[in-house]
Amino acid sequence: MSEKNSKILTERRGHLLVVTINRPEARNSMDKATALEMNAAMDLLDEDDNLYIGIVTGAQGNFSTGADLKALARGERPITEDRGGFGVFRRPPRKPLIAAVEGYALGGGLELCLSCDLIVASRAARMGLTEVRHSVCATGGGLFRLPRRIPYHIAMEVALSGEPREASFYHQHGLVNRLVEPGCALQEAMVLAERLMESAPLALAASKEIIWRSRDWNEEEAWAGQQPIALRAFESEDRREGLAAFAEKRKAVWKGR
């Protein structure tokens, strides 16, 4: 695990990378330095062939309360040139990313969840786009990603009210994948990750990319656009291993290549 004084902790657990926002004294809000470290953690996930899936969580009972308002008052914005806000908003990793949410996920904290592909949340978690209450707009992707994930009128109410809601509300409307007891979000996210990693890592990454890009494709573009992405999995060593494992009735041993 990285140094304890780091604002972002990274821990390898086999082929899984656990990324922890480590600013509990500020409810894991994000300043510039934290965003830069998050950017580096996302680069690590993308670039290391031995890492298949990432989990993002927060230290000591909160996910993230968004941007650090004290840092903003100093004129400091938690944005990186490469991946954008919080070091992930504009360009999330190409590999699957799971949010494990305890406590508050507010403002940019919810937008961080929306930058992930799956969300596991504690029943005690409270989530919301609170920016309008501070005369700010949620420009970290929340205002266009949220209505793609939940019904339009529900997303509009979340954005315009600025009201934090329990995770069960978001689970009811399909944003949260798994709802768990307090203190169990990371554990359940790891269980989910292990289940996903039974499948081939290149196929996981390619499937995510096709789903992600297909939002901007029409039907004809989708048929053509998916092919070069899917070929990365079809032409891999893991594809041959998957066929051999099926024929031999054994569990496949993936290599990520």
Nearest to 256 by CA among 52, 69, 76, 2: 52
Exactly one of 37, 102, 111, 188 is catalytic; which is it? Answer: 111
Angle, vertex CA 186, rays to CA 255 and CA 110, nearest 5: 105
Q: Are 52 and 201 in contact (CB under 8 A)?
A: yes
Distances in whole angstroms, Cα of residue 213 to Cα of each of 173, 198, 226: 23, 24, 9
131 annotated active-site: yes
Q: Are 34 and 65 in contact (CB under 8 A)?
A: no
Q: Are 119 and 98 in contact (CB under 8 A)?
A: yes
What tokens does 97 get? 């990313």
Q: How far apart are CA 255 and CA 15, in angstroms?
A: 10
Exactly one of 131, 198, 219, 221 is catalytic; which is it? Answer: 131
Which residues carry out catalysis? 111, 131
